[in-house]
Chain A
Amino acid sequence: GEDVEQSLFLSVREGDSSVINCTYTDSSSTYLYWYKQEPGAGLQLLTYIFSNMDMKQDQRLTVLLNKKDKHLSLRIADTQTGDSAIYFCAEKSYSGAGSYQLTFGKGTKLSVIP
């Protein structure tokens, strides 16, 4: 079945760049997503990338996709303390009978040191 892997923890200093990495297994994935979860809150969609793209930039966020290696990364420039959260990588895959699923990684907890 589909599997999404990401490192569990990342610690960076305020003002530095953060890079969160993710690998996935389903080569038929059409979209890949990054979600952010702050403590006690639901998931918030940060950005997504279509599988025929290599890069997508949105303000401080840069998503890079290496489809050959099935590797996705999220770069946060000028990381702020408010960026401290758990970041989930997810892939959209077809699960049959006209149904799509999002398969999530376990999340990377980003800690920003002031």
Chain B
Amino acid sequence: GAGVSQSPSNKVTEKGKDVELRCDPISGHTALYWYRQSLGQGLEFLIYFQGNSAPDKSGLPSDRFSAERTGGSVSTLTIQRTQQEDSAVYLCASSLDRGKNEQYFGPGTRLTVT
């Protein structure tokens, strides 16, 4: 079946602009995660959605970052007033529910802020 998809695959933007990154999780997966992977770094947890519960935003690095998940499916990560340090690969993952072991990752969006 279809895996997790993300769009765009690459995004180049100028410093100060806003960007939106999209994630389509696997159908039926109630849990959705956003991570950031910077060059030479591990994965940094950003935000987690579980069903209709309030999201866990504890990993968001600043108030310029926000995310929403409409209808319990598609999620959008928005970065306002982008900075060069926001350049990274943004990965989305979904799992059947929060207790399940397997998180299935999308291919990521490579964001470059110039």
A98 with B103, Cβ < 8 A, contacts A88-B42, A105-B42, A106-B42 known: no
Name the residue of chain A whose CB is nearest to the CB of B106. Answer: A42
Chain A interface residue count: which class? Answer: 20 to 34
When distances are taken between beta carbons in the complex, the residues of chain A under 8 Å from B59 are 101
Bound-complex Cα distance A70 to B108 (A): 30
Contact with A106, one of B41, B93, B103 (Cβ below 8 angstroms): B41
Sample of 16 further A-B pairs with CB below 8 A, known A99-B56, A107-B42: A31-B101, A41-B107, A42-B108, A43-B105, A45-B102, A88-B42, A90-B43, A98-B50, A98-B53, A100-B98, A101-B45, A101-B48, A102-B43, A104-B35, A105-B42, A106-B40
Q: Which 8 A-B pairs have the closest CB atoms?
A: A42-B105, A104-B43, A106-B42, A43-B105, A99-B56, A104-B42, A42-B107, A48-B101
Q: Jot down 25 A-B pairs with beta carbons below 8 A, ordered by A.
A: A4-B42, A33-B101, A42-B91, A42-B106, A43-B91, A43-B93, A43-B105, A44-B105, A45-B102, A95-B56, A98-B53, A99-B48, A99-B56, A99-B98, A100-B98, A100-B99, A101-B56, A102-B43, A102-B45, A103-B45, A104-B42, A104-B43, A105-B42, A106-B41, A107-B42
